[in-house]
Homo-oligomer: A and B are copies of this chain.
Amino acid sequence: MPKAKYDHIYRDLKEKIETEYYAYQEMLPSEHALVSAYDCSRNTVRRALAELTSDGYVQPMHGKGVRNIFQPIEQTSFTVGGIETFKESAERNHRQAHTEVILFTELTADGKIEKKTGFRAGSKLYYLQRLRSLDGRPLILDHNYFLKERVRGLTPQIASQSVYDYLEGELGITIATSKRTLTVERVTQIDEKYIDMKDYNCMAVITSQTFDDNGIQFEFTQSRHRPDYFRFQDVATRRSPLYP
């Protein structure tokens, strides 16, 4: 994990905000004060503040100061947001996670798949369908495409645990960027076969392309969630002023 100085300051301030050491709407200490407190340069303080800003934790105001605008939100359903694995999300939401691999096969991308997934036609891919359960209830159906040349040696066994642990642990891949699109689609027969849809006729669908730190796309995933257990969070900023 990063042991950079700005990261230490970032985490420290973040915790002070989350624990309401700084109250909602309160001003944080000035940059100058933080420089003294953390014994570092102004740039370093500002780097930490920039991260907090893009997290939606604080808001810098020209000539005035930096205001805490963090409000804890209640967690009823299954919240996704940053880059994290199903297991991590489940833990953060205090739920028991289980994964069942219902299809594990290989295929070669054609033009249609290229258009859909972003993998070049001719690429050899693993194609998986996985059913994800929370607290014993099947709620999410994943369709995963992995670039075989980059994700060698994937097995159904691994896929039923955490693919990402395998990628990051065994293969040394570091995931860097994920482009996601969120839509709402009609339920399919496959959805209904595995998930109790109650009277819903739609699914919340996250499709994502994931890139490693070499800029290589190694994954395309369509993750289909039952609506009542789905929540996606996001903070948008109008071109943040902070940093450098």
Contacts and interface: CB of A to CB of B under 8 A. Distances in A.
Given A182-B182, A201-B201, A215-B69, A50 B243 contact: yes
Chain A interface main SS type: mixed
A243 to B, nearest CB: 6
Interface string A49-67: 0110110100101101001
Q: This chain: how many copies in the complex?
A: 2
Nearest to A232: B182
A187 to B, nearest CB: 10
Nearest to A50: B243
A56 B235 contact: no
A231 B64 CA distance: 37
A86 interface: no
Contact of A59 (B61, B177, B202): B177
Nearest to A59: B215
A178 B236 contact: yes
A105 interface: no
Nearest to A2: B239
